[in-house]
């Protein structure tokens, strides 16, 4: 898959079959659109082209809205889309000026002039242009003039996509990891860098890797303890991960830290990826440190022996 970030340096696409969207999560619901895209491209000997935006449009249009939480960062989205055989991903810089294009200018100056689409695949409720004034009706009106084919993603499919995204977010925020993973089609994951902590886990007999996320916009699942897999340094391990504030020690700062099973190495400043397998328990305050250590031993054993259904 070729990734394009400069609209002035795009190649001449062959019979471009185009769709537009954030594709956040690239979850199992999105696979219907990817399949439609590929089938349409095969039928016209064309190339599949996905147009996405960075940053997320809501970050530009509502900069004070801190609720934007991504299922996948842009780089993660690229990695996932590559697995589906897409020919081109075009990352469009989303700016205030871009958002103020009229719907007609968006269609003519951006979509038609830039991509010269053979086919446009779009949801029935997709809106574009200033104040979201453009949509399927404008594309239907203009398709003969500009010579593109228009394929509508049915209402039920769009509804299912919306429901899936909402359910994934809710599931992660509730600790329902297995449901989230089922809807995603893969284990949800966080990526970051291992940073120094206060070494409290080491004192308790469970040295943990403290994770600083690469992108703070990434959705963090509910506080608690999880069975995970850990990828670092080209190797994969089992782990027990905690998201919480260390209430037993009256902590207040949210931390993400993972105890890597059967591992004894120095990975400070290394990149790390944790993939969530199951929710073990909530984050809670224990009456004594001994009680906490006993529970941590049980958590680790559950993480060690967890097997996916």
Task: Provide the 3-class DSSP secondary structure of residue 113.
Answer: helix
pLDDT at 308: 57
Distance of CA 117 to the CA centre of its chain: 27
Distance CA 147, CA 118 (A): 7
pLDDT at 161: 79
* Omega within 30 of 0 (cis) for the link into 55: yes
- What count of Cα atoms within 13 Å lies in the side-chain half-sphere of residue 241? 29
CB 16 within 8 A of CB 37: no
Q: What is the mean pLDDT of each run of 10 residues along the chain (309 residues)?
A: 96 97 90 93 98 89 81 94 95 94 96 97 90 93 95 85 86 96 95 86 83 95 97 94 91 92 91 97 91 93 80
Distance of CA 9 to the CA centre of its chain: 27
Ordered domains of the chain (ranges, CATH): 2-169 (3.40.50.620), 187-305 (2.40.30.30)
pTM given for the model:
0.91
């Amino acid at each position: 898959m070729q990734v394009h970030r400069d609209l002035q340096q795009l190649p001449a696409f062959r019979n471009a079959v185009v769709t537009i969207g954030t594709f956040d999560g690239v979850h199992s619901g999105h696979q219907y659109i990817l399949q439609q895209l590929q089938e349409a491209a095969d039928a016209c000997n064309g190339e599949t082209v996905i147009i996405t935006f960075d940053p997320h449009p809501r970050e530009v249009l509502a900069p004070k809205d801190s609720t934007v939480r991504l299922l996948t960062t842009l780089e993660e989205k690229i990695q996932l889309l590559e697995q589906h055989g897409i020919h081109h991903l075009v990352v469009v810089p989303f700016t205030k000026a871009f958002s103020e294009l009229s719907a007609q200018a968006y269609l003519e100056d951006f979509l038609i002039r830039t991509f010269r689409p053979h086919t446009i695949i779009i949801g029935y409720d997709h809106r574009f242009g200033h104040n979201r004034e453009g949509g399927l009706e404008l594309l239907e009106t203009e398709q003969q003039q500009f010579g593109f084919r228009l394929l509508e993603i049915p209402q039920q499919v769009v509804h299912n996509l919306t429901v899936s995204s909402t359910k994934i977010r809710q599931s992660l925020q509730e600790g329902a990891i297995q449901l989230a993973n089922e809807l995603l089609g893969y284990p949800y994951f966080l990526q970051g860098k291992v940073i120094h902590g206060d070494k409290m886990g080491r004192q308790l007999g469970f040295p943990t890797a403290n994770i600083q996320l690469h992108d703070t916009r990434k959705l963090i699942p509910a506080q608690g303890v999880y069975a995970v897999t850990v990828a670092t340094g080209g190797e994969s391990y089992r782990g027990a991960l905690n998201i919480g504030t260390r209430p037993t020690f009256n902590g207040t700062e949210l931390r993400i830290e993972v105890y890597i099973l059967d591992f004894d190495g120095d990975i400070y400043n290394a990149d790390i990826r944790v993939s969530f397998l199951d929710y073990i328990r909530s984050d809670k305050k224990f009456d004594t440190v001994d009680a906490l250590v006993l529970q941590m031993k049980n958590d680790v054993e559950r993480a060690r022996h967890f097997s996916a259904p």
